[in-house]
């Protein structure tokens, strides 16, 4: 327990079915699945304050035709996300926001296992002609320099390998700021979610454009 508390504190401080996506008709909403852990699920937040509803609201406010489905499961590791990939990302999905790995790191899972799971997810999504935005995560400093380098390199390496869009750090602007996090010092509060959505929104717009290009009407 002491080790887990230390890791959480450090993070706060440092912080199948091979179905092709169906083309969206011109002007019809692009179907997006946010596949992730508690950060995507909206842990500790009201139904309207989580990442997915706030992102949906931001897209709607800009007149962007998109529907974002919440496939976040609190506590999920990358391997858990892989295990439920087929039913979490159903046929007809045009784009995926992939946010996994924080729990791998908090549990000290070997980076190679995380890399392998994310690699398989990306392989299967790209085979289905689904556009992907891969969100990176940072390692807690007290896990050591070697672990940090091995873990953090997973995301840019895989983004380059599969040619997917890349957002370097999902908690950018929020991690380590106690005014933007819940009492656990790790999960964002409503204000923190607002920062995340504001910063990631341009990449999500790019994701939607790429999804339409991959599957034109």
Asked if 29 contacts 67 with a C-beta cutoff of 8 angstroms, the reply is: yes
Long-range contacts of 80-83 (CB under 8 A, 24+ apart): 81/35, 81/36, 81/37, 81/117, 81/121, 82/117, 82/120, 82/121
Q: Is the dihedral of CA 127, 30, 157, 143 positive or negative?
A: negative
CA nearest neighbour of 185 among 2, 1, 44, 13: 13
Is 38 among the catalytic positions? yes
**List 37, 76, 88, 187, catalytic entry:** 187
Is 76 among the catalytic positions? no
Is 88 among the catalytic positions? no
**List 38, 78, 79, 88, catalytic entry:** 38
Tokens 């699920």 — which residue?
Answer: 41
Q: Which residues are catalytic?
A: 38, 184, 187
């Amino acid at each position: 327990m002491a080790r887990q508390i230390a890791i959480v504190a450090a993070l706060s401080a440092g912080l199948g079915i091979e179905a092709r996506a169906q083309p969206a008709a011109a002007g019809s909403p692009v179907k997006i699945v946010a596949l992730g852990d508690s950060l995507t699920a909206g842990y500790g937040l009201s139904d309207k304050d989580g990442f997915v509803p706030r992102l949906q609201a931001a897209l709607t406010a800009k007149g962007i035709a998109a529907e974002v489905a919440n496939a976040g499961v609190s506590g999920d590791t990358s391997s858990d996300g892989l295990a439920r990939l087929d039913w979490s990302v159903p046929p007809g999905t045009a784009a995926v926001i992939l946010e996994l790995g924080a729990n791998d790191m908090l549990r000290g899972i070997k980076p190679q296992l995380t890399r392998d799971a994310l690699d398989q997810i990306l392989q299967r999504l790209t085979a289905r002609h689904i556009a992907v935005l891969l969100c990176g995560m940072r390692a807690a400093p007290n896990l050591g320099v070697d672990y940090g380098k091995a873990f953090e390199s997973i995301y840019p390496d895989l983004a380059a390998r599969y040619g997917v869009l890349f957002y370097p750090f999902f908690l950018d602007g929020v991690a380590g700021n106690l005014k933007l996090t819940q009492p656990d010092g790790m999960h964002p509060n409503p204000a923190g979610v607002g920062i995340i959505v504001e910063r990631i929104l341009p990449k999500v717009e790019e994701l939607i454009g790429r999804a339409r290009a991959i599957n034109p009407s």
